[in-house]
A and B are shown apart, each in its own frame.
Chain A
């Protein structure tokens, strides 16, 4: 098991998982408001393509039915006190029935996803998890939970 660290984040990657911690460019609206680069964590149990969006566009198109993609995207710390990020702490487990087919950033047939906003250590985050088959969510949700157990905000 390898631990990737960077930008105040760490993720333990199980055998066979790809992972990356990098900084994302703020979109023009964020930049105009003084936004800066913020970190992103990607982890997947399938090969992550080099060209992909913060919420996994480019990756979800190639994931198979057993695929799991976890994205942790940080927002400006000023957002941490807003209502959207009111939830406290990184979720460590996601119930299978919390996954839905209509919550996908990029709708793909058969896939399921879940999006949760929260704050931790005065930092604001969005956790976004995609599973390759919504019908297999009872099998795949624990796989995602296994990754979440090793995700840390330091």
Chain B
């Protein structure tokens, strides 16, 4: 009995030392963060710049699914045009470019070369979107628009997608109608890397199909279920989503 008490005392003493050590380490981390001026990281009530980016680089967006939009505007020859982005079977890479920005020049050149504009996914469609004629010179766009690439002038599309800066890229999954990935980059290779990563994160295989694993679990499964329910006319909150309770059923029968 004495031995058991002594053993328990030793265990309690060891645990006490361990807890004190952990608390001390935690305090040192807090102190170090405070000295670096990063107190906000620890305070969930503080809104705003948790992550600082270099000037000219777009800040990451808040997390969450964003919907894609069809692109309606004018073609470089002045005609009216709609490019279907949602409700289609393929991915669409929407490249928001302007005629004036220096970095955009890299992409205008890259897209003009069919050998360089390899896209993520097998049948991914590239669409270049500039601002409308009120903000861009139609004649300059006609010079820049790469042959073989759909180019649309549409300020509405910039607003729809809430584009923060040019150049800016969004990859939209036409089946789910959601934005798979987005961001700004300085070179076409960077864009391809970013989008490849975004596709993998979204459960899409490198050829742009949904991976079997993502179909069975996670966000992709949720999206698929939502899409199928929406096609059947069942929206969030629809009473058909809720099984009647035994009580209600009994009342209905009586």
Contact = CB atoms under 8 A, between A and B. Distances in A.
A50 B149 contact: yes
B82 A50 contact: no
Nearest to A58: B148
B202 interface: no
Chain A interface residue count: which class? Answer: 10 to 19
A51 B147 CA distance: 7
A2 B70 contact: yes
B87 interface: yes
Q: Which one of B70, B80, B149, B151 has the greatest number of beta carbons of chain A within 10 Å?
A: B80
A1 B54 CA distance: 40
Contacts of B81: 4, 19-22
A4 B80 contact: yes
B47 interface: no
Interface in B148-168: 148-151
A20 B84 contact: no
A5 B87 CA distance: 22
A118 to B, nearest CB: 22
Interface stretch (A10-18, A77-85, A100-108): A10-18
A22 B75 contact: yes
B84 A5 contact: no
Nearest to A17: B84
B83 interface: yes
Interface in B107-151: 125, 147-151
A22 B151 contact: no
Given A47-B125, A50-B149, A4 B84 contact: no
A89 interface: no
Contacts of A21: 79-81
B35 interface: no
A49 interface: yes
Contacts, number: 61
Interface in B36-86: 70, 72, 75, 77-84, 86
Nearest to B82: A19
Chain B interface residue count: which class? Answer: 20 to 34
Interface string B75-102: 1011111111011101000000000000
Contacts of B174: 16
A17 B82 CA distance: 8
B84 A16 contact: yes
A16 B82 CA distance: 10
Q: Which one of A6, A18, A19 has the greatest number of beta carbons of chain B within 10 Å?
A: A18
A136 interface: no
A19 B79 CA distance: 10
B87 A15 contact: yes
A23 interface: yes
Contact of B79 (A2, A13, A16, A23): A23
A20 B87 contact: no
Contact of B88 (A13, A16, A50, A51): A16
Contacts of A18: 82-84
A4 B125 contact: no
Nearest 6 CB-CB pairings of A with B: A22-B79, A16-B87, A15-B87, A6-B80, A4-B80, A20-B81
19 contacts: A2-B70, A2-B82, A4-B72, A6-B80, A16-B174, A17-B82, A18-B84, A19-B80, A22-B78, A22-B80, A23-B78, A23-B79, A47-B83, A47-B90, A48-B150, A50-B147, A50-B148, A50-B151, A51-B148
Given A2-B70, A4-B80, A13-B82, 11 more contacts: A6-B79, A16-B88, A16-B174, A19-B82, A20-B82, A22-B77, A22-B81, A23-B78, A47-B150, A50-B147, A51-B147
